[in-house]
């Protein structure tokens, strides 16, 4: 679905990483780990077309990102749900409106009401629907971000440190939600530096692959960390 | 063609949710409403001026062209004979519908504004006037002058071209100036709305980024801004045009002077002119914001 072919990226200076190849096969669950600053967020941005690789090729659903127009990338993103490291909400809208935003911008706002309530219950935010994002706790924000990532029912879900600033219990809940999604057939790529989370996933019997970004290269690691 | 226009304006189709995605920006909103209001107010005057000048030019051109005056100065004992000869000659001139010597009372009335009612007109050596009304394509002025010179030595033909032409030219120039003013007003409005739209877009860079991240296309994001600015410009200029029209209506109408200012009003079909100003402002705002938004969105990628 998403394919990185010997990709390199540099923000202008030295290459952050190079020769990175990665395939997100349908229904797969992959962890992306590595030390802070290794370029995990950058790699994910390449996967949803926010950045363009400085070398190599990125293909979204079979199409080379370099050949896509801005609007084509926007359309591709409707099939990739992203939980951003910094959530990226519109603070003047309510939580419910933020969660519904992908449907709204796709001109399918009328479908929102159907899922919205179920979805907010699923992530445990039913009572916070009318609040503004800044009023939420860290864990609530992350769950709202997950709800927004999945509302348009994308095939791929990319989550960047979704458990970054929340407690262990909440992290487990979020992981569980992601595992549920994977069981429903969604392709998951989850960046985290939290190895406990990866161990926890293996207990949930997910067929997860662990990739480690380190020293400018992407390595396949075992689950036995 | 219609499909192209429809696609072009499709971003005007309302989407309240899209409009809510862009937070309200008080400063640019007020700037747009005020600017388009002020500009519409000015445009009404330019329009009224242009219409009045147009009517005046047409009136002068047509009315004055249909009449001319023959002035006869002669010693008192020859005057009546020359007037009779001139009227005779005029009546046999092709292109002349009628020729009529003004009587003393009429001449007195003409001079009254300048010399008062007590002018002893019959004792003064005042030339006699003959009013000539033309028909069809009019007469041949050069031929007529030549014949008059031969038969009525004291006659001077004034066919009004001498002072009609600069007046018509001035009125035409005035009409041109008003069209130019409206064009300038529209351009200035476009420039200011572009500035306001750019400010709003810059203030909302983060909003634009988020909308893109969740899959919004450029046209959708631009539409949210374009609709907002178009509506503001329309509203502001509707108020401005209304105020301007009221101000024009409240101008003192000086029928007695019969001069230029009486024409500075709207009547009949010309009422559509001030009513069209808000529409023009909306179109200007639409085009200005659309191009500003699409340009910014291109630059922000
Ligand atoms: N927009 C940017 N411009 C320049 N450097 C950046 C930018 N974003 C990230 N970096 C740098 O790239 C490196 C990798 O960042 P990031 O991808 O966020 O790593 P990670 O997510 O693994 O912590 C860091 O050193 C960071 O400072
Ligand atoms: Mg990161």
CA geometry: angle at B127 spanning B126 and B128, to 5°?
Answer: 115
The C-alpha of B190 sits at a distance from chain A's nearest C-alpha, in angstroms, of: 27
Determine, yes or no, domain membership for A52.
Answer: yes
Check pocket membership of A162 for ligand 1, CB cut-off 6 A: no
Q: How far is B280 from chain A (nearest CA, A)?
A: 29
Q: What is the 3-state secondary structure (H, E, C) of chain A?
A: CEEEEEEEECCCCCCCEEEEEEEECCCCEEEEECCCCCCHHHHHHHHCCCCCCCEEEEEECCEEHHHCCHHHHHHHHCCEEEECCCCCCCCCCCHHHHHHHHHHHCCCHHHHHHHHHHHHHHCCCHHHCCCCHHHCCHHHHHHHHHHHHHCCCCCEEEEECCCCCCCHHHHHHHHHHHHHHHHCCCEEEEECCCHHHHHHHHHCCCCEEEEEEECCEEEEECCCC
Residue B18: predicted pLDDT: 67
| Average of per-residue pLDDT values in chain A | 89
pLDDT at residue B51, as a whole number: 84
How much is the pLDDT for B256?
44
Q: What is the CATH number of the domain that holds A211?
A: 3.40.50.300
pLDDT at A93: 92
Q: Which among A105, A112, A134, A152 is the top mutation candidate for probing chain B, defined by the most B β-carbons within 10 Å of its own β-carbon?
A: A105
C-beta atoms of A109 and B20 within 8 A: no
Tens-place pLDDT, residues B159-209? 776 667 777 788 888 888 999 999 999 999 999 999 999 999 998 989 999
Query: Would the pLDDT of A112 be above 90?
Result: no
pLDDT at position A17 is 92
Option in B23, B211, B215 nearest A92 (CB) = B23
pLDDT band at residue B98 under the 50/70/90 scheme = confident
pTM for this predicted structure: 0.77
Chain A residues inside the 8 Å CB shell of B215: 74-75, 77-78, 102, 105-106, 152
Tokens 């997100």 identify what position? A24
- Ligand 1 in reach of A62 Cβ (< 6 A): no
Cα–ligand 2 centroid distance for B231 (angstroms): 42
List the alpha helices (DSSP H) in chain B. Answer: 2-9, 16-21, 26-66, 76-91, 104-115, 141-151, 161-203, 205-213, 218-249, 272-299
- Quick check: CB of A44 below 6 Å from ligand 1? no
pLDDT in tens, A135-183: 998 889 988 998 999 898 899 999 999 887 778 888 888 898 899 889 9
Q: What is the dihedral of CA A114, A116, A118, A124, to 10 degrees?
A: -170
Beta bridge partners of B69: B131, B158
More confident residue, A177 or B254: A177
Total count of domains within chain A: 1
The mean pLDDT of B265-279, rounded to a whole number, is 79
- B152, B82 in Cβ contact below 8 A? yes
In sequence order, the β-bridge partners of residue A3 are A23, A59
Taking contacts as CB-CB distances below 8 angstroms, the residues of chain A near B15 are 107, 109
Q: How far is CA B173 from CA A109, B57, B178, B179, in A?
A: 56, 10, 9, 10
Q: What's the pLDDT tens digit per position in B49-73? A: 888 887 777 777 776 667 788 888 8
- Residue B275, pLDDT above cutoff 60: yes
- Give the model confidence (pLDDT) of B70-91 as tens digits: 888 888 788 888 888 888 888 8
Look at residue B300 in the predicted model and tell me its pLDDT: 77
Ligand 1: nearest atom to the Cα of A38: 22
Burial class from Cβ neighbours inside 10 Å (0-12, 13-18, 19+) for residue B105 reads: exposed
Give the pairing of strands B128-134 and B67-72. Answer: antiparallel
Residue range A12-28: mean pLDDT, rounded: 91
For residue B257, what pLDDT is reported?
46
Per the domain annotation, does A225 fall within a domain?
A: no
- Supply the pLDDT for residue B261: 46
Which chain B residues have any C-beta within 8 angstroms of a chain A C-beta?
15, 17-18, 20-21, 23, 207, 209-220, 297-298, 301
Specify if A49 maps to a domain: yes
Among the partner residues B21, B23, B207, nearest to A104 by beta-carbon distance: B21
The answer to whether the CB of A168 is under 6 A from ligand 1 is no
Instruction: Give this complex's ipTM.
Output: 0.90
% pLDDT > 70, chain B: 86
- A211 located within any domain: yes
Give the separation between CA B276 and CA B37, rounded to whole angstroms.
Answer: 14
Domain residue limits at A89 = 2-220
CA distance A170 to chain B (A): 25
* pLDDT at B250 (0 to 100): 83
DSSP readout, B106-155?
HHHHHHHHHH-TT--GGGS-PPEEEEEEE-TT---HHHHHHHHHHH-TTE
């Amino acid at each position: 679905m998403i394919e990185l072919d010997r990709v390199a990226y540099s923000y202008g200076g030295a290459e952050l990483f190079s020769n990175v190849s990665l395939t997100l096969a349908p229904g797969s669950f992959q962890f992306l780990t590595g030390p802070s600053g290794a370029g995990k967020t950058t790699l994910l941005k390449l996967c949803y077309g926010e950045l363009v690789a400085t070398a190599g090729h990125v293909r979204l659903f079979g199409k080379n990102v370099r050949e896509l127009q801005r609007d084509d990338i926007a359309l591709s993103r409707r099939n990739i749900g992203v939980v951003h490291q910094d959530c990226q909400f519109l603070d003047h809208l309510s939580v419910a409106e933020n969660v519904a935003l992908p449907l709204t911008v796709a001109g399918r706002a009328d479908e929102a009401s159907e899922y919205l309530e179920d979805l907010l219950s699923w992530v445990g935010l039913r009572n916070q629907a009318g609040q503004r994002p800044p009023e939420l706790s860290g864990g609530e924000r992350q769950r709202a971000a997950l709800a927004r990532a999945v509302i348009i029912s994308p095939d791929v879900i990319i989550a960047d440190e979704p458990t970054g600033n929340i407690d262990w219990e909440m992290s487990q809940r979020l992981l569980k939600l992601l595992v549920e999604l994977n069981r429903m057939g969604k392709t998951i790529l989850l960046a985290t530096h939290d190895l406990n989370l990866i161990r926890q996933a293996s207990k949930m019997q997910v067929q997860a692959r662990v990739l480690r970004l380190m020293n400018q290269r992407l390595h396949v690691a075992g689950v036995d960390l | 063609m219609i499909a192209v226009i429809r696609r072009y304006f499709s971003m005007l189709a309302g989407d309240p949710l899209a409009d809510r995605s862009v937070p309200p920006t008080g400063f640019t909103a007020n700037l747009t409403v005020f600017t388009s209001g002020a500009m519409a107010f000015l445009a009404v005057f330019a329009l009224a001026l242009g219409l009045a000048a147009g009517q005046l030019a047409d009136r002068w051109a047509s009315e004055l062209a249909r009449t001319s005056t023959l002035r006869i100065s002669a010693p008192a004992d020859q005057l009546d004979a020359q007037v009779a000869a001139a009227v005779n000659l005029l009546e046999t001139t092709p292109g002349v519908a009628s020729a009529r010597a003004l009587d003393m009372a009429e001449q007195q009335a003409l001079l009254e504004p300048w010399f008062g009612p007590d002018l002893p007109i019959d004792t003064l050596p005042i030339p006699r006037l003959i009013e000539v009304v033309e028909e069809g394509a009019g007469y041949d002025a050069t031929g007529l002058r030549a014949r008059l010179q031969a038969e009525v030595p004291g006659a001077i033909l004034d066919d009004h071209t001498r002072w009609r032409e600069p007046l018509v030219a001035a009125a035409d120039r005035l009409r041109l100036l008003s069209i130019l003013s409206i064009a300038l007003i529209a351009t200035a409005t476009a420039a200011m709305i572009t500035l306001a739209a750019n400010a709003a877009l810059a203030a909302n860079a983060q909003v634009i980024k988020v909308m893109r991240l969740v899959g919004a296309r450029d046209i959708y994001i631009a539409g949210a801004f374009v609709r907002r600015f178009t509506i503001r410009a329309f509203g502001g200029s509707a108020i401005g045009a209304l105020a301007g029209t009221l101000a024009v209506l409240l101008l003192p109408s000086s029928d007695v002077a019969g001069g230029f200012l009486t024409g500075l009003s709207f009547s009949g079909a010309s009422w559509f002119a001030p009513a069209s100003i808000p529409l023009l402002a909306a179109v200007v705002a639409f085009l200005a914001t659309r191009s500003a938004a699409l340009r910014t969105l291109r630059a922000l990628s």
